[in-house]
Amino acid sequence: MDADALLRTHADRIYSLALRLMGSRDEAADAAQEVLVRLWQHGRDVPDERRLAWTLRVTRNVCLDALRARRLRTAASLDNVPEPAATEPDPSEHADAASLRPHLDAALDALGEPFRSIVVLREVEGYAYGEIAEALELPLTTVKVYLHRARQRLRDVLRIRLPPESLPRLDRATA
């Protein structure tokens, strides 16, 4: 497969995963561009049956590096700013919430790695367990266990943020 065909085949997947991991369109576009350059440079060297996993792994790693750099920049710029006092969400905010998406995004942001990547790859992007295991270089059973734990953490965070009747169903059976 030539380089242009590789880029066309994987560009949408790369950007979609980067957007989910980064949370910002601009940062996701930057990360996707970096991954596409790497795919263009090295993608032909990766066997066809491993190319998807390789691409997902590179995308995740580029995004994690960018998130670490963002955290370092934020921490450096906030060194002298006092931390605000924690406040409980106002119940009226729940009634005014137009959508579940902001709450899900915040819950996803609360997950650490590799839990967040596993949830995004499985629940948002729809990848199979085997593909996720290969992409993240984890055993299949570990992916399943981590996904179970991540779903539980999402439920816990959402229970705090939302009234019980508006909670989404997060207990899909693992296969």
Same domain, 72 and 96: no
Rounded to 5 degrees, φ, ψ at 58 are: -65, -40
Q: Quick one: which of 127, 109, 120, 113 has its CA closest to 53?
A: 127
| The domain boundary residue, chosen from 80, 114, 135 | 80
Same domain, 96 and 119: yes
The tokens for 121 are: 């790859």
| The domain boundary residue, chosen from 15, 49, 80 | 80
Domain region containing 8? 1-80
Question: Residue 83's pLDDT is what?
Answer: 52
Q: Flag whether 73 is in a domain.
A: yes
Q: What is the pLDDT of residues 80-107, one digit of tens each?
A: 545 544 445 545 444 444 457 777 778 8
CATH number at residue 106: 1.10.10.10
Same domain, 18 and 74: yes
Number of structural domains (the chain) is: 2
Mean per-residue pLDDT, 141-165? 85
Question: Residue 95's pLDDT is what?
Answer: 42
Mean per-residue pLDDT, 19-38? 89
Q: Flag whether 60 is in a domain.
A: yes
Percent above pLDDT 70 for the chain: 74
The answer to pTM > 0.85 is: no
Same domain, 100 and 151: yes
Same domain, 67 and 123: no
CATH number at residue 32: 1.10.1740.10
| The domain boundary residue, chosen from 60, 80, 100 | 80
Q: Flag whether 40 is in a domain.
A: yes
Q: Which residues of 104-118 are buried (b: 16+ CB within 10 A; e: fewer)?
A: beebbebbeebbbbb
Say how far apart CA 152 and CA 115 lie, in whole Å: 11
